Amino acid sequence: MEIHPKITPIYQSSVFKFEDLNELEQYFGEPGSRYMYSRNGNPNSDELAAAVNRLEGGAGAVATGSGMAAIFAAFMAFCQAGDHVLCAADIYGGSSSLLNAELSRLGISVTYVPFEQLNDLTSFVQPTTRLLLVETLSNPLLRVVDLRQVAAECHRHELKLVVDNTFATPVLTRPLELGADISLHSVTKYIAGHSDVTAGVVVAADADVAARLKQISTFYGLTLSPMESWLAVRGLKTLRLRVREHSHNALAVATFLAQHAAVRAVYYPGLTTHSQHELAEAQGAGLFGGMLSILLADDAEVVNGFMRRSQRFPFAPSLAGVDSSMSYPLGTSHRYLTPEQQADLGISTGLVRLSVGIEPAEELLADLAQALA
Ligand SMILES: *Cc1c(COP(=O)(O)O)cnc(C)c1O
């Protein structure tokens, strides 16, 4: 009996069989023709990598065990001991922790570049500088990096541009088309989209870099399991639909909160009052994503009251699930920055980040209205 499943089954196997030495020779002689050992490659993780690679317009991709593993692989693809990297000051807390606590031990040093200076790197570049890491939409203030301009600036200095495209997704922005060398994701977030998978993916514009990423993830053991890959592939099938709905709802929420007396500021690039609204619109294909931050009174009890009363935005420090949630940058992602760094990034007691889900918008507005009352 031949079985023809419509979707790829879960190849929950750590290893694959060979009939004889000829098949073993085929594995090494014709890369991609067979599987041998799941850390080196598995049909499910390859399916995820290929799907994201297609969406991002890359030359090759690798699925990783987390978003952090994807970021680590990107650094390892371009850097070695003695090198220096640049990193946008507005960056995911895990990325700065990786640089400060771990890559520093490997002899890779970092300089953080304030957002306003990303377009002119001259004063930050050293002879050993290899790359710049930025996020398409920054966390948590949703600043928009002009990727085409920053890519040109990087290449003028012979730096690679690595883009964490987690918040934007390829539905909004395809960094490789704008000149980035690597685009990567925490698949945990929008790519998988259902808050039930921890995974990552790293996509290269160049086939040789993609091959290096594959080698790095195999040797460091960064690769993703079959089951997690399969769940992420299933989530990915609805990415386009979800991101449209996340964006639609987030715009409704941002518009509502911008007029609310208890809200001192709303950070959402979809609002015409956002200083980079036009760039966001052009770079985001007219969509602005599902993430926004709001500034309440700088009083922990005000924030606590809002958290306790909200039913539709549970405090859960992640993002991008189909169900809404909220997070608190000062107490989670940006907890270990110095007070000065927190102040520089605009992260204060009243700052709350909302991940707007795909529930009916009117239910979300009603919940926020009662939680702020
Ligand atoms: C969550 C996140 C990461 C880290 O991803 P994990 O899957 O948690 O390892 C990296 N970058 C951004 C922007 C994120 O939101």
Each residue's pLDDT tens digit, 264-288: 999 999 999 999 999 999 999 999 9
Judged against a pLDDT cut of 90, whether residue 336 lies above it is answered with no
| Cα(348)–Cα(344) distance, integer angstroms | 10
Average pLDDT over residues 148-172: 98
Sheet holding 200-204, edge to edge: 60-64, 200-204, 182-186, 160-164, 129-135, 84-88, 109-113
Judged against a pLDDT cut of 90, whether residue 254 lies above it is answered with yes
Full domain range(s) for residue 58: 21-236
User: Is 214 one of the annotated active-site residues of the chain?
Assistant: no
| Residue 164 Cβ < 6 Å to ligand 1 | yes
| Residue 290 Cβ < 6 Å to ligand 1 | no
Whether residues 256 and 217 fall in one domain: no
Measured by CA distance, the residue closest to atom 8 of ligand 1 is: 67
Whether residues 215 and 289 fall in one domain: no
| Residue 245 Cβ < 6 Å to ligand 1 | no
Is residue 204 within a helix (H) or strand (E), and if so which, with residue range?
strand 200-204
Whether residues 193 and 319 fall in one domain: no
Domain limit, last residue, from 236, 254, 287: 236
Per-residue confidence (pLDDT) for residue 98, from 0 to 100: 96
Beta strands 160-164 and 182-186 are parallel
| Cα(120)–Cα(132) distance, integer angstroms | 12
Q: What percent of the chain has pLDDT over 70?
A: 100
Asked whether residue 15 is domain-assigned, the answer is no
| CB-CB neighbours of 43 under 10 Å | 17
Per-residue confidence (pLDDT) for residue 334, from 0 to 100: 87
Ligand 1 centroid from CA 138, angstroms:
12
Asked whether residue 327 is domain-assigned, the answer is yes
Average pLDDT over residues 198-218: 98
User: Is 35 one of the annotated active-site residues of the chain?
Assistant: no
User: Is 11 one of the annotated active-site residues of the chain?
Assistant: no
Asked whether residue 13 is domain-assigned, the answer is no
Average pLDDT over residues 128-142: 96
Average pLDDT, the chain: 96
Whether residues 305 and 267 fall in one domain: yes
Name the domain count of the chain: 2
User: Is 308 one of the annotated active-site residues of the chain?
Assistant: no
pLDDT tens per residue, range 232-253? 999 999 999 999 999 999 999 9
Domain limit, last residue, from 217, 236, 255: 236
Per-residue confidence (pLDDT) for residue 338, from 0 to 100: 86
| CB-CB neighbours of 238 under 10 Å | 14
Asked whether residue 16 is domain-assigned, the answer is no
pTM exceeds 0.95, yes or no: yes
Whether residues 202 and 295 fall in one domain: no
Classify 187 as helix, strand or coil. Answer: coil
Average pLDDT over residues 318-338: 92
The enclosing domain of 214 has a CATH number of 3.40.640.10
Which atom of ligand 1 is nearest the CA belonging to 167? 13
Domain limit, last residue, from 203, 220, 236: 236
Residue 181 and residue 162 in contact, taking contact as beta carbons nearer than 8 Å: yes
**Angle between helix 43-56 and helix 226-236 axes, rounded to 10 deg:** 30
Which atom of ligand 1 is nearest the CA belonging to 135? 13
| Residue 321 Cβ < 6 Å to ligand 1 | no
Whether residues 230 and 275 fall in one domain: no
Whether residues 159 and 52 fall in one domain: yes
Which atom of ligand 1 is nearest the CA belonging to 187? 7
